[in-house]
Amino acid sequence: AAYMLGRTGGGNAAALAALVGLFGHTAIEVRLAAVAAVDHLATGGSSEAVAKIDALAKEEAGRKIWKDFAREALPTQSRLRHRAEK
């Protein structure tokens, strides 16, 4: 479902918010699908996604789920910040 929202949800703020809400999911596969979809969907950046990733980094520092998620989330966060600056 996250993949399909990323492919078809362009310009849909509700779709973006729903995907960002999945960043804190307990299953790493769900988190990774959501962050990949947001990366595709948020062509103009997303301060909401950047803030959620920052919050998770603080809340989950040192936990395995964060270590696994950070490998994709942090580069995506950087791209989202860069897109928002353009």
How would you classify residue 45: left for phi > 0, otherwise alpha for psi between -120 and 50, otherwise beta?
left
Beta strands, E only, the chain: none
pLDDT at 5 (0 to 100)? 65
Tally of structural domains, the chain: 1
DSSP letter, residue 3 = H
pLDDT at 13 (0 to 100)? 87
What does the mean pLDDT of the chain come to?
91
- % residues pLDDT > 70 (the chain): 87
36-57: b (≥16 Cβ within 10 Å) or e: bbbbbbbeebbebbbebbeebe
Contacts of 8 (CB under 8 A, 6+ apart): none
Model confidence pLDDT, tens digit, residues 41-51: 998 999 999 99
| pLDDT of residue 54 exceeding 70 | yes
pLDDT at 12 (0 to 100)? 80
70: containing domain: 2-85
CA dist., res. 52 & res. 64, Å (int): 18
pLDDT at 11 (0 to 100)? 66
